[in-house]
Amino acid sequence: MSDIDAGREKKKLMSAKKMRDIMTTYYIEAKSAEQNGKKVAWITSGGPVEPLIAMDVIPVYPENHGAMIGASKMGGEFCEKAETLGYSIDLCSYARADIGCSIVGGGPVGGLPRPDMLICCNNICGTVMKWYEIQARYYDVPLFIFDTPFCHAGYHDEVKTYVRRQIDEYILFLEGLCGKSFDLDRMEEVGRLSVEAQKLWQAVLDTARNRPSPMTCFDAFFFLALIVTLRGTQVTVDFYRELLAEMEERAAAGIGAVPRERYRLLWDNLPIWYRIKWLSDAFASHDASLVADTYTSAWCGQLKYMDENNFLDSMAEGYTRIYLNIGVDEMIAIILEMIDRYDVDGFVMHSNRSCKPYSLGQYDIQRAVQRERGLPSMIIESHMVDDRSFSESQAETRIDAFMEVIKERKK
């Protein structure tokens, strides 16, 4: 190893193993749910999971599974299977991978456990509505649709009343399927744990304000799994408390995720799951650290609307005003705030053909970032799970050119 490589060697994060162990236990429990008399609900990534936890239903996330399929470089195979069934190549690659895997079986965890019910919240996109309808027919199980109107400009009383009413319907749906009453005291405890976990996740992400940053967005993509899948549980709170301690320790010791961090960047959109390491290495070779991203911060961005002492009422607003359910102007305000908060030198946008709601406004956002902060930006194109869509040589050329601009500005 050369001196340069040695200087750039990345120190391993101790929490990574613990996180893998927790996720393994979680999937084993989900897969043995039927033997243990438990029910399984498939739920969308932005869906209100806390009532499921309060009812002892195991939540399973096809999108988290899609991420694992992508990271295992199996996305192309499953997406292709869905395409042979007539699904368009332009469809979200999470949906294509999930539909393909349901039929073929296998995958990184041997497929998902059969659902007893599906919970679809359309706060992330419209794709999930059709996707979950298809899966409800395929598995012949009930589907609950939690409808969150798009917030073009703020939040209104009519929306608040409409969404709040659906929480009651959601509870009735769960009571009917689980054959037991909803326990409001248990819900209160789950809500408190959910808010606590989100605060800890925000604190973990904020350790990236240190120079050098102890973590990159590529680490955040990995450590995100628990705040997505098991919000509202003690194990999640305990894990993020430990992760925060590890990050703070690294920051205090001056250990950077990119050891010679000279440039700090902000990532926009979902990860390109099958090229995480490649992208991490490509930017690190320029001493650039992607210190923050708009994706993982979405699982704590609603804290300002959440009230742990009135969780059920406040979650109506929290789940409606999530990042993908707001207008571009509000997105721009969030991104500008992140640029200042993490003190970044440039903006890397993943134009993700899978995810239209995330990608459609990006050119407006790019112009606003240039106008308001004068920051250079670059765009990488792909589908986040379908590895047939990515060109390493094109991405490498763009990263090199972009980093030249960043370096020139910092001279």
SS3 state at 15: helix
List the beta bridge partners of residue 58.
40
Q: b/e map of 157-170 (b: 16 or more CB within 10 Å)?
A: eebeeebbebbeeb
Task: Tell whether residue 125 is a contact of ligand SF4 (CB under 6 A).
Answer: yes
Only one of the segments 6-14, 209-217, 325-333, 353-361 lies at the binding site for ligand SF4 (rule: CB under 6 A); that segment is 353-361
Q: How many residues bind ligand SF4 (CB under 6 A)?
A: 13
Task: Tell whether residue 355 is a contact of ligand SF4 (CB under 6 A).
Answer: yes
Task: Tell whether residue 124 is a contact of ligand SF4 (CB under 6 A).
Answer: yes
Could you tell me the smallest distance in angstroms from the CB atom of residue 268 to ligand SF4?
Answer: 13
Task: Give 97 or 284: the residue with its C-beta nearer to ligand SF4.
Answer: 97
Which of the residues 215 through 234 are near ligand SF4 (CB under 6 A)?
A: none
Token pair in block for residue 364: 């407006």
Task: Give 125 or 159: the residue with its C-beta nearer to ligand SF4.
Answer: 125
Only one of the segments 7-15, 119-127, 149-157, 224-232 lies at the binding site for ligand SF4 (rule: CB under 6 A); that segment is 119-127
Q: Which residue do the tokens 């599974």 mark?
A: 65
Could you tell me the smallest distance in angstroms from the CB atom of residue 259 to ligand SF4?
Answer: 32
DSSP 388: G
List the beta bridge partners of residue 41.
59, 117
Task: Tell whether residue 128 is a contact of ligand SF4 (CB under 6 A).
Answer: yes
Task: Give 132 or 342: the residue with its C-beta nearer to ligand SF4.
Answer: 132
DSSP 12: P
Could you tell me the smallest distance in angstroms from the CB atom of residue 143 to ligand SF4?
Answer: 15
Task: Give 201 or 295: the residue with its C-beta nearer to ligand SF4.
Answer: 295
Which of the residues 300 through 339 are near ligand SF4 (CB under 6 A)?
A: 324
Give the separation between CA 47 and CA 44, rounded to whole angstroms. Answer: 5
Could you tell me the smallest distance in angstroms from the CB atom of residue 130 to ligand SF4?
Answer: 10
SS3 state at 151: strand
Only one of the segments 138-146, 225-233, 237-245, 355-363 lies at the binding site for ligand SF4 (rule: CB under 6 A); that segment is 355-363
Could you tell me the smallest distance in angstroms from the CB atom of residue 260 to ligand SF4?
Answer: 34
Could you tell me the smallest distance in angstroms from the CB atom of residue 45 to ligand SF4?
Answer: 6
Token pair in block for residue 23: 């996720």
Phi-psi region of 15 (alpha: psi -120 to 50; beta: other; left: phi over 0): alpha
Task: Give 95 or 230: the residue with its C-beta nearer to ligand SF4.
Answer: 95
Give the separation between CA 116 and CA 119, rounded to whole angstroms. Answer: 10
Which of the residues 58 through 77 are near ligand SF4 (CB under 6 A)?
A: 63
Antiparallel, parallel or unpaired: β 117-121 and 143-146: parallel
Q: Which of 216, 354, 382, 389 binds ligand SF4 (CB under 6 A)?
A: 354
Q: Which residue do the tokens 């209160």 mark?
A: 188
Q: What is the DSSP string of 212-275?
A: S-S--HHHHHHHTHHHHH-TTSHHHHHHHHHHHHHHHHHHHTT--SSTT--EEEEEESS--GGG
Could you tell me the smallest distance in angstroms from the CB atom of residue 72 to ligand SF4?
Answer: 18
Could you tell me the smallest distance in angstroms from the CB atom of residue 62 to ligand SF4?
Answer: 9
Token pair in block for residue 304: 């300002």
Q: Which of 64, 127, 297, 302 binds ligand SF4 (CB under 6 A)?
A: 127
Rg (CA), the chain: 21
Q: What is the DSSP string of 177-208?
A: HHTS---HHHHHHHHHHHHHHHHHHHHHHHGG
Only one of the segments 29-37, 124-132, 207-215, 249-257 lies at the binding site for ligand SF4 (rule: CB under 6 A); that segment is 124-132
Which of the residues 82 through 101 are near ligand SF4 (CB under 6 A)?
A: 92, 94
Binding site for ligand SF4 (CB under 6 A): 63, 92, 94, 124-125, 127-128, 270, 324, 354-355, 357-358
